[in-house]
Amino acid sequence: MREKPNVVLLGMRGGTAYAVLQALHAMGARVQLICDRRSSMRLSRLCELLYVSKDLSSEPAGHILEIINDRHRHQRVDLVVASDVEGTMLLNGIRDGLTSPVFPAADNATLTLLDNKWSFHHLCAAVGICTPDSIFFESKERMDVGRIEGELGYPVVVKPVNMSGGDGVIVADSPDAVSTHVLLNPRYGYGKSGLIVQHYVRGQDWGYSAFAVDGRIEVALTFACGSNWRTEFCQNPGLLNAGRRIIEHVRYTGVVNFDCRLDDETKTFKFLECNPRFFRRVTAARLCGFNFVKAGICDEKRLPRDVCYLPIRDVFTREGAKFLAQGRWPLSVLAADVMETLSDPIPAVVQKGAWTRAALIAISPLLQRGSLARL
């Protein structure tokens, strides 16, 4: 692959897609973006727009195939990559017809298995990985608060089995809380594919992230998670071994992330869910020395060790000052984060909700570069 590859990125919307865009830009890639019109990435200076869809999740696969191949005919495309599960499944469906290489990824059956919190729960049980005690309900109308109390006790966490980003997640400490926030809440419209109710595990959040090919782990790292996306990288042997067993069992290919919690009571890791895709902390890992996107393109083995990433605003907090003074949050990481934010500020502002969706759609055509965007 060329030193500065031409890359087509499929990104629905949200922070994960933007993290992948930043990672590609850090490699020097020239990025052509296919995105949803609700995505703030269309305002980024780090890419050119190839296609903007009214709803990328329902876009005909053949149309995307035609767009990418047409681009390849006019200007060689060195790689096509998707930031999320939906985009990866779309690419899997047209992979044989694409004339450009595609970023390594699992097949759709494996993605479906891992992306569903209930099937992932059963997978962990099959390979001897600890998970919280859980119950599945087909919908919120089928939920039984008496069964929840009898089998799990309170507090519990209610989650849609196939959503991400915290959508539909409710922590409830009593049957009344479940009824108020889920059962009797007309605004709670999640769970059409089912809901999982898990015993709430008290403890610290951890993550396991890896890039693998056919079940062979090329690189893996673990990290402790703090508030506001604080990330402390440290290799935990027990967590590394548990993640390896899952990846080898399903012969996974691509980037994957497991959300875990270190149980305060048992001092064991409980696996909560799997993200068989890129994830928000791709940025934290990259700024601390490891680029997950690059790992799928060429050899990338350097891992961040005993180093922290904190969001920029934490520089004004007591905890941030302590981490800086101790050298755990390197000034080089903070400086790189600040420079990236200042060089491309609009997507970050939009993601934080400073602009309304209506304003975004209204002004974005004025800011688009090139004539390839099709509204």
Specify whether the CB–CB gap between 212 and 274 falls below 8 A.
Answer: no
Q: For the chain, what is the radius of gyration of the CA atoms?
A: 21
**pLDDT above 60: residue 283:** yes
Chain mean position to CA 113: 16
- Domain 203-309 classification at class level: alpha beta
* 300 pLDDT tier (thresholds 50, 70, 90): low
* Two structure tokens written together for 87: 């985009």
What percentage of the chain has pLDDT greater than the value 90? 74
Distance between CA atoms of residues 255 and 250, nearest Å: 13
Distance between CA atoms of residues 159 and 197, nearest Å: 6
Question: How do residues 141-170 score in pLDDT, each as one tens digit?
Answer: 999 999 999 999 999 999 999 888 788 899
Domain ranges of the chain: 6-103+344-367, 133-199, 203-309
Return mean pLDDT, the chain. 89
- Domain 133-199 classification at class level: alpha beta
Specify whether the CB–CB gap between 115 and 162 falls below 8 A.
Answer: yes
Specify whether the CB–CB gap between 266 and 115 falls below 8 A.
Answer: no
Hey, do 6-103+344-367 and 203-309 end up sharing a CATH topology, with the first three levels equal?
Answer: no
Question: How do residues 67-120 score in pLDDT, each as one tens digit?
Answer: 999 999 999 999 999 999 999 999 999 999 999 999 999 999 999 999 999 999
DSSP character string of 126-144: HTT-----EEEESSGGG--
Can you give the pLDDT at residue 303?
72
| CB within 8 Å of 185: residues ≥ 6 apart | none
If one counts every other C-beta atom within 10 angstroms of the C-beta of residue 38, the result is 18
Specify whether the CB–CB gap between 317 and 334 falls below 8 A.
Answer: no
* 299 pLDDT tier (thresholds 50, 70, 90): low
* Two structure tokens written together for 321: 């000052």
**CATH for 6-103+344-367 (3.40.50.720, 3.30.9.10, 3.30.43.10, 3.10.150.10):** 3.40.50.720
Residue 253, classified by CB atoms within 10 Å of its CB into exposed (0-12), middle (13-18) or buried (19+), is: buried
Q: Please state whether the predicted TM-score (pTM) of the whole model is above 0.85.
A: yes
* 355 pLDDT tier (thresholds 50, 70, 90): very low
